Structure 1
Amino acid sequence: MIKMKKNKLILASVAALMAVSPVLSFGSQVHTVQAADSSVRKTVMHNSIAYDKDGNKTGRKYITYGSIYVDPTPVTINGNQYYKISGKDQYVRVTNIDGVRRRVTHNAYIYRTSTQKTPYGMTASSKKWKLYKGEIVTTYGGYYTFKNGKHYFKVGGPRKQYVRTANLGPVIGTNTSTSSNNSSNTTINNTQPVGKYETTVTVTTPYTYLFTEVPGKIQVQRTNKRVKKGDKFVVDRLEQGTRAGTGQDGDDDNELAIYHIKGTDYWIYNNDVQAAKQLSVQSYNKTDKSLITMDQPVEVYNADGTSQNIRIKKNDSAWRVDSLSYIWVAKENKAELFYRLHLNGEYRSVYRLTNNGDYVSDRVPIKNAYIKASEVKVDPNGLKLTPSNTAAEAEAAAKK
């Protein structure tokens, strides 16, 4: 049982955060708070069995997203790292609290169940439904076995967010500091970041608004939630790009960025806070346009499925498209899915079919141009289009 005196100390250190109850309602994952007696509040990210100092089970279990108070420096028991529950002979695995870092080895969807996908980390409007090869992600605890028999690591919360273990590599690092929390560790108002890639920010302007994502909007939108000068938050991402509005009017130096408040759907602008340490700036460039790329020469068609006798050259540009529909291709006797290029006579470099049957390099105006969806790649930063008809409807229309 934690003494009332310690409760008061902890409450005092986080009192500023109480002004934003939605932030705290995501609870537990948001902050690590250090009290005067050096115990630290942590969030349980994976169900955790409590062990004694000899590594034997105590019969106590700590449930996901609950808060616990632990001694800040991990101890090693039988080769594994544990946090000691403050004031008790109980120890919980560090990996269930702080997690470990792994590299994504294959593009991976995020799931909430064996059949249902879910967005990762932020709000559903962020459309981050996938982790891409090369990204680094934190996983918590051991894997879960879903009903489909496959194994998944927990990667976030408080929403259920899991990734197939087959899509992640081995552990490449931890988020746990192994040094003791003494005077050599700088703290701000007794609030410390949980992991290596997180930091604490302090609000420097009076009554600053928090921002969040809104469906249909690229840039984060202001909420009616305000925080006061001196309030502190643990943040886990610093981002520039379209979501932050980098480069908009008034941002002539292109330095505008946003911090994501850990465990919530809220963001706060970098010019309203002071960070305890600098985070690496991440780039995020979603757009409200639909974009495709071409890594091979692509045949251009008319709306009736006949060829325009030109092929767009392989290039590294992102091409804007404005519709996706099935078109009956009589020559192939089937309906194909086509994107319509957002061009109205603009000149582009192509290969043009000559009268003698050879293709020659040329620049020609492109208009009413359609290209097969199967021959291009969709830019994940662009707006996703859905077909405006079905293959059967396209066939019926062509054979009237």
Structure 2
Amino acid sequence: MKVIKKVILVAVMSSLTLATLISLPSFTNNIVAATVSNNQLKLAHGAYVYNKYGQRLTTYRGSSAKTRLSKGITVSFVGSVEPIERDSKRFFLMDSDNYNQSWLPYKEIKGSCYYNIGAGGYIKAVNVSQIAGKSLYTSEATVKIKYYKDRKPYSIGTGKDKTIIKNNKTFKVDRITAVSDDPEDITSYRISGTTDAFLSVRAVKEKVRQKLKIYTAYTHVKFLQPAKTYNIQGALRTISRDHSTFLKDDIYPVENLIYLWVPSENKAELFYLLKYSWESFDAQSFANYLSPSYGDGLVYVKASDTTYFTGPYLKPRNTPEQAKAMSKTATSIDKQKLQKLIDQEKITNEYANKNPYRLCVYHYKYTLRLAKDTINSAVASSTEINEVSDLLSAAQTAVINSTDETDDRDSMLRRTLPYIHKLPYYIKNRN
């Protein structure tokens, strides 16, 4: 928890410092060139100037010409950027940790949001792309489907999320993602209110002017520096094969955040468990690190080598004190929980054999193999027994509860990636 608190503290302090820097508005001619400073916003689209009632002005700062602002220019704003509760505002800024948020307070008039640019002038937030040098995000935007004469209606999404796409139809979208099926058509918006209705950006008439938060079903971290991998004992793994380490700026999916006791340093450290590290499964990543065809067991990276990037925000599963206490070699009593789960193999297989090619069945088989290897290990720690028990329990539950719909959804969601507009770069530089 110390690491997480430190990250949050730094983010808050950074936001407060920024607020101090930009708190003094400019009341001179505030229309300038396109270099964005700490008290300016940049326009993503041409914009009219309004008064505080949302009415268009006929003159602004003594000139009728200044009531219409051009795309790409910067304008000084009134107010200061402030920290906010996550996802509480329609327009916001992302902090450097990719998690916490801030905002420049705006005025809401008849359903539209306006930023104060001084001298009685306001501009619509929907026409702004940057504030104080940082990209502006929106929680939701409206897009319209392009018209193609010969286009027939088609569907996206599964189950209750199934959505019919037609010419000229409008949709609300709330996230952006990279769906890995088609490199030529990879960037997609997510239809608001759905889990997996992803609409290709190429299908819409005009792209969203602000940024949308990136959606990935799995948590992804970004590496701050070159990094090696560790086992569950917190020991450095000595691997001689190519692509066994991470490079700076690599992005990779992870699944748990846990304190592991590191005997060589006599302390507990935070580690992320690499997604699918015990399976021969493509983790859908363009990082330097590649899993071998047979899997590597439980493989970890130090949280201090990474920063959160996208997906569910993970919190530590244990405390440093628990990590130390559970680092001892597991006893037969400690292994009972895992053994009971392994003993359910026959029952689970009755479900698995009905649909042997479902994604969840694939995961279950590899996790069961990991569990059997772990239970037979003479050096497995109590932590390892607990971790593998939780993984096997989740895998069994997924198989038992699996349906055609959940399998289709899982297959789609595992392909949501954070490589927005950058897939060709990662493919080119992977080797």
Range of TM-score over shorter length: 0.3 to 0.5
Q: Could you tell me the TM-score, scaled by structure 1's length?
A: 0.39
Q: Could you tell me the TM-score, scaled by structure 2's length?
A: 0.36
The structure with the largest strand share of the pair is: 1
Higher gyration radius (CA): 1
